[in-house]
Amino acid sequence: MYRIALILFGIILLILNQTGQLISFNLQFSFFIAGIILLGIPHGAADLLVAIQNRQHQKSVFSRIHFFSGYLGRMIGFGLLLYFFPVGGILLFILFSAYHFGETDLHFFKTNNFWGKLLVVSYGLVILSVILLHDPEELVQIISIGGFEEGNFLFIQQLINYRVAILSFSLLFFFSSVFLYFLLAKEKEKIEDQFLWQFAILIIILYNIPLLLGFTFYFVIWHSLLSIRNIFSYLSVNREMTYPLIARQIVFYSLLALFGIALFMFTGYLDFSSRAVVIYILFGLAVLTAPHMNIMHEMYNRLRKNK
């Protein structure tokens, strides 16, 4: 029922867009920013809580110093990679994001083996390909707002030029992975039928709404809400972690993150023009992907074992 409710919300966005009621870029951008604050940041702010629970399952001592040094180290490392090798950084970001999106959406599958991981990656690549490449004109508009350098833009322009081939390959790759996964599975998955029709409707929605709105619907709403739901389920295994306590701690760490952003605003080192905000958000999402994905991957491994 949870995913069905999200799909119905996506259908409402699709209908509103088709009737011309939700096509303003400024409105989409405002929706995106609000979603990042209300859902995107909270779903990432739970990383500390999930990391503590991971260590408890491993029966090892949790060190906050080790956690934050490792977390920040991965962020800085990936940030340097994006700065000095932007094309390689972008490709790695797409691969990380595809795996993370697929693992979140397909956490109920047994994906610890090779064919399961192939299914996870192929699923995420289809999602990202459809969001980014279905409307090349809007992608160019967002890129120009983001102020990408000419050399990096040429790489993205090549992706646009071959977008039909990329979309076709990603779909073929996904359906081949699905076929191989179910063919080689030792036992049938009970949720197979729901998975396929939900995926089909999700793709239809993402293909027929504007890029920024599609990214907001999938990443900010769909992905964040599913992640938060899984996080609550995972943390509540510990009887001391009640739902109200988990919610309060997530809100607390979210407010800390927002406070840190506000400090940068008041220092005057950040430019908050619309062009700069796009760059900050894209760069922030990229550098956070590696440490966040690592923590969530460990959580999903545990959830699959518990199932």
| pLDDT for res 270 | 57
Residue 217 lies in a domain: yes
Find the radius of gyration of the CA atoms of the chain: 19
pLDDT value of position 274: 55
Alpha carbon separation from 102 to 106, 156, 227, 293 (Å, rounded): 6, 23, 12, 11
Series of mean pLDDT values for 10-residue runs along the chain (307 residues): 87 84 74 88 89 85 87 87 81 89 88 89 94 82 60 72 91 92 68 76 92 90 92 84 87 83 62 61 78 90 78
pLDDT at 150: 52
The size of the chain, in residues, is: 307
Domain of 289, in residue numbers = 2-14+24-56+86-306
Gap between the Cα atoms of 224 and 218, Å rounded: 8
Q: Is the residue at 97 inside a domain?
A: yes
Q: What is the DSSP letter of 63?
A: -
Residue 156 belongs to a domain:
yes
What burial class does residue 274 get, using C-beta atoms within 10 Å of its C-beta: 0-12 exposed, 13-18 middle, 19+ buried?
Answer: exposed
In this prediction, residue 103 carries a pLDDT of 92
Would you say residue 62 lies in a domain? no
Look-up of token digits 């995913």 = 3
Number of domains in the chain: 1
Residue 218 lies in a domain: yes
Q: In 147-210, which residue ranges form alpha helices assigned H by DSSP? A: 150-161, 163-184, 192-207
pLDDT at 211: 87
CA-to-CA dists, residue 180 to 24, 30, 185, angstroms = 42, 42, 8
Residue 104's nearest CA partner among 249, 204, 225 is: 225
Sign of the Cα pseudo-torsion (141, 143, 149, 155, in order): negative
Residue 65 lies in a domain: no
**CA-CA distance, 138 to 140, in Å (whole number)?**
5
Residue 112 located in a structural domain: yes
Whole-prediction pTM: 0.87
Is 69 part of a structural domain of the chain? Answer: no
End-to-end CA distance of the chain: 19
